[in-house]
Copies of this chain bind each other. A is one copy, B any other.
């Protein structure tokens, strides 16, 4: 199968999902740009879209090449209550960058709605909805293709605001199989969001691929039980975190500056993509820790179903086949699927444990 872009005109997100297409999301911005030097851990704000647009554009380009069909605006934490003054400029610039790169391939632009910092202290529906509406105004002006509300505990309010726009609304929650802080189960959560008007529901961030798929299974069951239909979406961490607690990886002692040894391999991600697909999820991407090659791994795993490889596969031999000319025979012997599927990678850290106890 030759690497090739998807031909033809762009279809909308719902049109794609309704026709059974697999939509590949994008990956990590905050954590990846932190490592590249453009985001400050702790603040996690996206002012790089203005200060260092080349760096943000480059990362969008890498995800596009890797096969992403969605360029999510890099607008995390960019709302009036999280950033001081320039949040509107940041959001507008983020939309422009996403649109510019999306235009170079088969990708849509998704406006990323972020949580409000005030909800934690004050359940003031009017004030919070106003914050969402402010964000929506910029996205509408910049004409994004659809909206994703993520990390939003106050999600029902968000959906109610977002559907005022005529764009499709996706919501991904940061919950694990055990449910959220208020003991709302994944199934209940999905039901409430679909009833509020979300077209696409799922999870993102906080939990690793395996755990996130368990949550998706529960969301799917909840919707079926309630007789509701919605498209399913999953964008987990690119980290293995089976030992994190109910609130996810932030409570692990390694967060955020010692997560290296938890990073998934491309083979882990191929397995994840296959399992997500088998579960019926059709919008499959990643969140923190998902590097461009992880996204490419999704695209390569699902290439048989989709019929094409992403552009970046010109630089990747499937299942390690690029090693088949190595001068050392034992390295040539690694150029095969069984090798990488069965590898149990060592950490090189014999003085470290394999699991941690979360701090909370």
Residues of A that sit less than 8 Å from B by CB: 34-43, 54-55, 58, 61-62, 65-66, 120, 208, 239-243, 250-267, 291-293, 296, 311-312, 314-317, 320-328, 330-331, 334-335, 340, 343-357, 359-360
A343 to B36, CA, bound (A): 23
Partner of A346, one of B34, B62, B243, B323: B243
Is the pair A353, B344 in contact by a Cβ cutoff of 8 Å? yes
Is the pair A354, B347 in contact by a Cβ cutoff of 8 Å? yes
A258 to B66, CA, bound (A): 19
A260 to B357, CA, bound (A): 21
Using A55-B58, A260-B264, A292-B37 as known contacts, say yes or no to A354 and B346 having CB atoms under 8 A apart: yes
A75 to B327, CA, bound (A): 20
User: How many whole Å from A67's CB to the nearest CB in chain B?
Assistant: 10
Is the pair A330, B241 in contact by a Cβ cutoff of 8 Å? no
Chain B residue with the shortest CB-CB distance to A314: B40
Is the pair B348, A261 in contact by a Cβ cutoff of 8 Å? yes
Using A241-B348, A328-B360 as known contacts, say yes or no to A35 and B260 having CB atoms under 8 A apart: no
Chain B residue with the shortest CB-CB distance to A251: B330
Question: What B residues does A343 contact at CB under 8 A?
Answer: 253-254, 258
Partner of A345, one of B254, B322, B323: B254
A42 to B62, CA, bound (A): 20
Is the pair B348, A354 in contact by a Cβ cutoff of 8 Å? yes
A298 to B293, CA, bound (A): 26
Question: What B residues does A335 contact at CB under 8 A?
Answer: 42
Chain B residue with the shortest CB-CB distance to A311: B37
User: How many whole Å from A71's CB to the nearest CB in chain B?
Assistant: 15
Is the pair B348, A262 in contact by a Cβ cutoff of 8 Å? yes
Question: What B residues does A265 contact at CB under 8 A?
Answer: 257-258, 260
Is the pair A242, B346 in contact by a Cβ cutoff of 8 Å? no
Is the pair A324, B260 in contact by a Cβ cutoff of 8 Å? no
Chain B residue with the shortest CB-CB distance to A327: B120
Is the pair B258, A315 in contact by a Cβ cutoff of 8 Å? no
Question: What B residues does A264 contact at CB under 8 A?
Answer: 260
Closest 10 CB pairs of A and B: A42-B322, A37-B312, A240-B348, A350-B355, A260-B263, A262-B348, A330-B359, A258-B345, A346-B356, A261-B261
